[in-house]
């Protein structure tokens, strides 16, 4: 999108637009009845006079990143989906790992992931002295030496840790099955 000089054309509606002066860019709406722009915030209205506006443009659409759509189910990889996620402190994810439930949490200096029959058991494992009493798989690691860094972990990193941990859990499930299969073929 390009800036449109106000002498060339004015907005067709009162929808929000970006306006520009020689010093500022702000969000405003066009008031056709009064032939002027109205600032969307008081702070902008205090600094910008409508007569100082030289250009405007429609507000661009927001980027369509997968993390912006909190309502849709997020598939991390084959067999692993996210049913809920909380960005912020702490970073938390819960979802399905094949036929089980998982819970991921990143807080303080550490992160952890538990896989269990229910999400409640996976959550319980994260706070237990012996997490494997509540969950069938538990993985944890240090994120940083900074006291609070793990709570601000980027979502992409959290999702990659979830994928890696689930692959590790699946590999652990497949190994005993292969050993039993191998043992059965030698009989």
Could you tell me if 42 and 123 lie in one domain?
no
Closest CA to 73 of 65, 84, 62: 84
Closest CA to 1 of 63, 60, 62, 64: 60
- Round to whole Å and give the CA distance between 107 and 76: 21
Could you tell me if 22 and 71 lie in one domain?
no
- Round to whole Å and give the CA distance between 160 and 41: 39
Last residue of a domain, one of 39, 58, 77: 58
Could you tell me if 21 and 40 lie in one domain?
yes
- Round to whole Å and give the CA distance between 157 and 142: 13
Backbone angles phi, psi at 152, to 5 degrees: -110, 20
Q: Which domain holds residue 33?
A: 4-58
Could you tell me if 93 and 141 lie in one domain?
yes
Could you tell me if 83 and 110 lie in one domain?
yes
Per-residue pLDDT of the chain (187 residues; tens, 9 = 90+): 789 999 999 999 888 899 998 888 888 899 989 888 988 877 777 778 888 899 999 988 755 554 445 555 678 888 898 888 876 668 899 999 999 999 999 988 999 999 999 999 999 998 899 999 999 999 999 998 888 888 888 888 999 999 999 999 999 888 766 666 666 665 5
Could you tell me if 120 and 181 lie in one domain?
yes
Residue 55's DSSP bridge partners are 5, 20
Could you tell me if 82 and 153 lie in one domain?
yes
Could you tell me if 142 and 118 lie in one domain?
yes
pTM of the model: 0.58
In this prediction, residue 43 carries a pLDDT of 72
In this prediction, residue 142 carries a pLDDT of 92
């Amino acid at each position: 999108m390009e800036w449109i000089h106000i002498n060339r054309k004015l907005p067709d509606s009162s929808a929000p637009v970006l306006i520009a002066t020689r010093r500022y860019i702000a969000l405003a709406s066009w008031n056709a009845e009064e032939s002027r722009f109205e600032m969307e915030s008081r702070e902008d209205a205090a600094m910008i006079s409508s007569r100082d506006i030289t250009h405007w443009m429609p507000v661009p659409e927001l980027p369509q990143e997968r993390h912006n759509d909190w309502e849709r189910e997020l598939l991390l990889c084959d067999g692993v989906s996210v049913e809920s996620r909380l960005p912020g402190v702490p970073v938390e994810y819960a979802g399905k790992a094949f036929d089980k439930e998982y819970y991921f949490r990143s807080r303080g200096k550490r992160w952890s992931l538990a896989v269990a029959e229910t999400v409640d058991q996976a959550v319980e494992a994260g706070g237990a002295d012996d997490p494997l009493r509540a969950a069938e798989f538990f993985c944890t690691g240090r994120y940083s030496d900074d006291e609070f860094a793990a709570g601000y972990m980027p979502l992409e990193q959290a999702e990659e840790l979830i994928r890696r941990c689930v692959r590790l859990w699946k590999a652990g499930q497949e190994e005993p099955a292969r050993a039993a299969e191998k043992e059965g073929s030698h009989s």
